[in-house]
Amino acid sequence: MHLRSVGLATDVELAGTRGVVSDHENYLVIATPDDPTYHFGNLLVLPAAPQVGEVGYWTRKFGEEFAKDPAIRHVTLRWDGITGDLGAADELRAAGYTVEVTQVMTARTVTAPPIALEVRALRTPEVTLTAELEYRDADRHDDVYLQFLQRRAVWKQSLVATGRAMWFGAFDKGELVGSLGLVALGARARYQDVQTAATHRKRGIASTLLAAAAREVLPVIEQLVIVAEPGSAASRVYERAGFRATELVASACRYPKLGA
């Protein structure tokens, strides 16, 4: 299935580096077998926003595609488009879905002033530090979430080890206080997991990491891609670094009930 959205297309390519992407002509199935509870790693990608009367059909289709894995108790639908069309949003919400819109931003170059911290590419074993940083500043501190981050760190390490990606870190007196990844996807490269320690925010760390990663891939890469919540602090940081909003992409997830 051809995708118009650069943001969604790079998400699908990223998913293929860890899991399985199956093309059913009028929809895609993305599965991440090593993490069935990964809500946005096990999903359907639709050609357009579901319209009134179609929500039930796509919900059943998801159930059919993932019926063999009882650990998958969510339903996630994403759809192609560049304007953030929500389709049958009221019907989705009535069916228990949370509807979200993501802003896709692109750039050809990225700039940032220098900072007084060590900024460098992470060695493969150091990539696990990114999970520790994310866990420290997270809203959740349970074993399930920690294991999710650790599984994701293993995937990141495999990308770095095989040369598909680079992960960068900012260090303050030897402690990792910021990180991000940049994954090569043909003529494009997609940023992943931009984070700064709560103790070090608003110091230009994210912008410096964005620029450091860009320098490593340009001019071979023709387009840099990143996503953010519209109007968020992150989107403003990316805009100051040289990114411009180019798309809005929508999705819907029916999360499992607590204790289910």
How far is Cα of residue 227 from the mean position of the Cα atoms in its chain?
Answer: 7
Q: Each residue of 185-233: pLDDT tens digit?
A: 999 999 999 999 999 999 999 999 999 999 998 888 999 999 999 999 9
Reading phi first (left if > 0) and then psi (alpha if -120 to 50, else beta), residue 225 is in beta
**Mean pLDDT across the chain:** 96
Size of the chain in residues: 260
CA 210 – CA 181 distance, rounded (Å): 9
Predicted local distance difference test score (pLDDT) of residue 258: 66
Q: Each residue of 79-103: pLDDT tens digit?
A: 999 999 999 999 999 999 999 999 9
Residue 24 has pLDDT above 70, yes or no: yes
Question: Full-prediction pTM beyond 0.85?
Answer: yes
Q: Each residue of 151-187: pLDDT tens digit?
A: 999 999 999 999 999 999 999 999 999 999 999 999 9
**Percent of the chain scored above 70 by pLDDT?**
99
Domain at 109-221, CATH homologous superfamily: Gcn5-related N-acetyltransferase (GNAT) (3.40.630.30)
All structural domains of the chain with their residue ranges: 6-101+249-254, 109-221
